């Protein structure tokens, strides 16, 4: 703590001025200058900056985050609790939560693949393929939009209704006709009543009341929201020489990757407690141009599917790149097999398909994002960028018992 005299007008401190040529030379005292300024006897108020974050770093739930990561936003009607997280974990891995008992959330979202499935297209409970590639569930809590191209799905709770009840395509296959039967199968499982009771202590009968499905959705959302990954080599600053070169390329003016894959989650579709405006960003990366006018193949036209706006053709959300090395194949339809192929598409300024059914020059797509311009890149540089992307892999995340299947014997049973 400074003494009062240390805060006095600087000329009083001239007596102790130290002359340092080139910072290291001899020290000489300069005296008597204060005598020139008899009025310089007072003291200034000490400068200060007060900061009030209005409780933005306060949460009763232990997110296990590094200090540098802000807390995510959580819906007021579904605050995070450990009990809901654990209930959601059981539901996430429970195939009874589908029309015919064949599909659970984990069917398409597998922990060892950063909660994606490694397939081009997943199959739903009825065997119908999904037109989109399964998304990784990594730090979903920070996503401002939850799907590849739907700007209206802003919360995990809303999004979960799509795979559960959606009919085009059918995923879990729930509907008006079967959802009571599915609920009864869950009620019959002896593990659930205490889990529901702990997760929703304010309700008398959370598994049997009219709120049961609402509770299921909230619990699932809590588990998905709690899938947190910030423990990669990158986070620990343990990058190889190649990965360091790749990081510089990633952030370079030449490649421009970082514009869309920005911030701590490497996506511009990020929102947290510190952000005040929810900016929805979608990008056309020149993957298709099947009619020469910019069209993407149906039904995967991205944001355009929802808005109908021609300018939104082929626009999709920039993906979170954490654990991206585990989530092949890539792009919204899984049509790109490897990270190298992804980079080469960007280097070309778009993808050229010469054979049907989707032949076209994506480089000429009129709706292409302005950052998708061609660039020169060597084979070694591609490997460096891949090394950087691989450094974003969080091994603890894909092996953490906390996120694993609770119905197996070797899982963590809290």
Partner 1 sequence: MNRLYLLLALVVSANCHAHYIPTDDGLVVNASLAATWSSSSVVDEYDYWQIPGTLMGGHAWPREEGVQIDELTLGLGYRFQERAFAVVELGSHAADEDHENEIELQHAYLGYVCCDTTGPWVIEIGQMTAAFSPGLAEHSADRMVSDAPLINDVFFGRDFHDKGIRLWWHETAGFSAGAELWRGDAFPATASGDNAWDLFGRYQWQTGGLSGSFGGWIYRSSASSRADHRYGGSHQHTPVAPPGTTASVFPDVRFTGDTDVYGVHGELGYRMAPDWRLGVKTEVMWAEIDGLVHDASSRQASVQGDQWGGWVQPYMGWQEHTFGVRGDWLSTDNQLVGAAAPVLAVDSGLANEKGHDPERVTVFWHWQWHPSLALRTEVIQDNTLPDEDLRWLFGVVWKDQLSPGSGSSGGHPH
Answer yes or no whether residue 246 interacts with partner 1 by CB under 8 A. Answer: no
- Cβ of residue 348: shortest distance to partner 1, in angstroms? 23
* CB neighbours of residue 3 within 10 Å: 7
211 scored as a contact of partner 1 (CB under 8 A) = no
Q: Judged by CB under 8 A, which stretch of 49-57, 109-117, 147-155, 376-384 contacts partner 1?
A: 49-57
**Is residue 32 near partner 1 by the rule CB under 8 A?**
no
- Measured from the CB atom, is 17 or 347 closer to partner 1? 17
CB of 394 to partner 1, least distance (A): 22
Residue number, 30 or 359, with CB nearest to partner 1: 30
Helix axes 379-390, 241-250, angle to 10 degrees: 100
What DSSP string describes 302-352? Answer: BHHHHH--GGGTTBBPPPP-TTGGGS-SBSTTS-B-SHHHHHHHHHTTS-E
* Two structure tokens written together for 372: 């998708």
33 binds partner 1 (CB under 8 A): yes
Question: Can you read off the two tokens belonging to residue 206?
Answer: 């959370």
> Is-contact 226 219, C-beta < 8 A?
no
Which one among 52, 76, 376, 410 touches partner 1, defined by CB under 8 A?
52
53 binds partner 1 (CB under 8 A): yes
Cα gap 298→290, rounded to integer Å: 10
Q: Which of 3, 45, 177, 410 binds partner 1 (CB under 8 A)?
A: 45
In the complex, the smallest distance separating the C-beta of residue 315 from partner 1, rounded to whole angstroms, is 20
What angle, 0 to 180 degrees and rounded to 10, lies between the N-to-C axes of helices 156-165 and 212-225? 120
Minimum CB distance to partner 1 smaller for 57 or for 236: 57
273 binding partner 1? (CB under 8 A): yes
Q: Is 248 in the site for partner 1 (CB under 8 A)?
A: yes
Largest CA distance in the chain: 94
The piece of 272-280, 342-350, 387-395, 397-405 that touches partner 1 (CB under 8 A) is 272-280
Long-range Cβ pairs for the range 344-349 (8 Å, 24+): 344/382, 345/285, 345/286, 345/287, 346/255, 346/257, 346/285, 346/372, 346/375, 347/374, 347/375, 347/376, 347/377, 347/382, 348/374, 349/286, 349/373, 349/374, 349/375
Interface stretch with partner 1, choices 48-56, 84-92, 197-205, 325-333 (CB under 8 A): 48-56
CA atoms of 286 and 346, how far apart (whole Å): 8
Instruction: Report the alpha-carbon distance of residue 135 to residue 227 in Å, rounded.
Output: 13
Which 65-124 positions form the footprint of partner 1 (CB under 8 A)?
70
Q: Which stretch binds partner 1 (CB under 8 A): 94-102, 270-278, 283-291, 352-360?
A: 270-278
Contact range with partner 1 by CB under 8 A, out of 42-50, 81-89, 101-109, 228-236: 42-50
Is 181 among the residues that bind partner 1 (CB under 8 A)? no
What are the residues binding partner 1 (CB under 8 A)? 2, 7, 9-11, 13-14, 17-23, 30, 33, 36-37, 39-40, 42-54, 56-57, 70, 248, 251-253, 263, 270-271, 273-279
């Amino acid at each position: 703590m400074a003494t009062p005299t240390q805060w006095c007008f600087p000329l009083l401190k001239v007596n102790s001025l130290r002359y340092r040529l080139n910072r290291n030379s001899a020290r000489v005292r300069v005296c008597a200058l204060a005598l020139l300024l008899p009025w310089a006897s007072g003291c200034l108020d000490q400068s200060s900056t007060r900061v009030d974050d209005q409780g933005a770093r306060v949460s009763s739930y232990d997110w296990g985050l590094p200090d540098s990561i802000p807390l995510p936003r959580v819906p007021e009607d579904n605050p995070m609790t450990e009990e809901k997280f654990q209930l959601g974990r059981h539901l996430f891995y429970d195939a009874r939560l589908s029309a015919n008992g064949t599909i659970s959330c984990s069917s398409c979202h597998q922990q060892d693949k950063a909660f994606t499935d490694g397939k081009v297209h997943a199959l739903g409970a009825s065997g119908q393929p999904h037109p989109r590639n399964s998304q990784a569930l990594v730090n979903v809590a920070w996503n401002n939009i939850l799907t590849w191209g739907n700007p209206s799905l802003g919360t995990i709770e809303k999004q979960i209704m799509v795979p559960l009840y959606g009919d085009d395509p059918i995923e879990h296959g729930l509907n008006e006709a079967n959802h009571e039967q599915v609920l009864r199968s869950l009620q019959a499982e002896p593990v659930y009543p205490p889990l529901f009771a702990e997760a929703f202590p304010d309700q008398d009968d959370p598994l049997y009341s009219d709120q049961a499905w609402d509770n299921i959705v909230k619990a699932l959302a809590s588990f998905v929201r709690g899938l947190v990954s910030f423990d990669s080599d990158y986070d620990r600053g343990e990058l190889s020489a190649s990965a360091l070169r790749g990081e510089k390329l990633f952030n370079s003016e030449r490649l421009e990757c970082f514009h869309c894959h920005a911030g701590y989650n490497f996506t511009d579709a990020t929102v947290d407690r510190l952000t005040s405006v929810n900016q929805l960003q979608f990008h056309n990366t020149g993957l298709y141009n099947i009619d020469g006018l910019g069209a993407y193949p149906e039904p995967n036209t991205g944001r355009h599917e929802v808005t109908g706006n021609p300018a939104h053709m082929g626009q999709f959300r920039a993906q979170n790149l954490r654990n991206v090395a585990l989530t092949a194949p890539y792009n919204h339809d899984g049509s790109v097999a490897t990270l190298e192929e992804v980079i080469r598409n960007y280097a070309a300024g778009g993808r050229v398909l010469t054979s049907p059914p989707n032949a076209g020059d994506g480089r000429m797509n009129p709706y292409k994002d302005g950052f998708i311009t061609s660039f020169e890149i060597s084979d070694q540089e591609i490997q460096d960028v891949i090394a950087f992307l691989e450094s974003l892999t969080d091994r603890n995340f894909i092996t953490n018992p906390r996120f694993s299947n609770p119905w197996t014997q070797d899982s963590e049973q809290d």
